[in-house]
Structure 1
């Protein structure tokens, strides 16, 4: 079992397979993607070696992230590879939804069990302003298809000043749509410090409002993500809150991250990443990668330092998938 010096156990791996993204979200890549060539990203054998090692150390859930993971043509193969790895019970994908309607059936057949889709607004013009794409209708159609296929579907939306009028439309949508809508506080990154200061809004006020209106907490599973989730008897969907600036946010951390270039990130907002790639090669004994992981995880810090204005080496969220 992967366990750090504080006794936190890690059942959940977030594996980035590319840092390329085709959206230009104002809070992440407002000028579009400007990065490394495609051949720098993990190969299929390297991904398999990584999945095998983490699963042998107790990982039960793998989330494939980017950038935008659907930009890799071999994504169905990667999903199938994760789903067929002994010990992995859940295979999740985070996507901007651009390719969702045409591909979600294929992904589900490959073994996808959970889907997270980024939708920051249900207003078509506002969606376009945020992402640089007029694709809201297609993304919503993809979400509807995913739900019909029985995929556990969540929608991610940034909680930020300037979008305060969005809650009523999202609540109307959740009345009849069985997804979990997760509001995520804007997080400071190296490239977006001004945006953070202008738009950050604490989720505590929304949490209090939900509790005052009859929403009730959901018990958190051990391989669940960081969201506090709430349900209401009058709604088909749920609401989640991700509040990284709350004082106890890191206490229940259960996840590790591997970048698309093979670096282990013990926290989203700390070091440059710890190189694993030499141990990912097919001619290396898989136990060597396991031993390196066990040793490195002992250096995981008790908490990030976001509350001190320190976002570590994270320049933008596309480089590791949030």
Structure 2
């Protein structure tokens, strides 16, 4: 009977903790002792010898068994108190473990949010860097075109200066030729007054030659003036283009400086983000996750991955 009751106590549901199981075993032991004493009392009362010696021996035996039962009871009570203390300590440790688990999960969640934010900032910075590179290349092309226009304008200015010098030279030559004609005409008049009419003279031929030369110079001068007018118009147009190109050049140069500054800032930010998202940071997050899993496994709780898998399974069911 005693063995059967103890076996029943040990066959209690496995969901019970050690404290509840110990209390059940203690109650079973006390019940066994009570049944044993009751059985022996009944056996003694039904047809046993009633001599004083036997009674005294029986009383001594019962007292001994009673003391043993009391000792067993005291031991069971002591074990119960120890188990209760252990149970309270286990509950405190479990609460502490749950608190640490919640704190670790919150830290892991914050790290994940921060990591996602840094990834987003990094992708945005890379996109801005690519856009800035494209803008810088476009501005460099515009700057090269403006410099080419400036070069053409400077070349036109040089040509205009050369033609102006040519006009001045022709004007000086024309004035010199007219002076020579005037001098020859004076000589001719003086010669007609003082010379012999029968003496041949070639002064008229020289005058004709000089007049022809002056005519050619005037023609060249008129043509050069026309070229100068055309060149002047071209020059004015080139000056307008030059002014426009100069303004574009200055604006492009200013934009290029601004974009270079922005590009340097973006590169600095990109370097900072890359330094932040180092492999050590990923390893640190992994180590934190592994430490949390090992801690939960040590206290008998499922890890975060197992909880997520279980939650996903329940949702799918």
- The structure that is strand-richer by fraction is 1
Larger radius of gyration: 2
TM-score band w.r.t. shorter chain = under 0.3
Q: TM-score w.r.t. structure 1 length?
A: 0.12
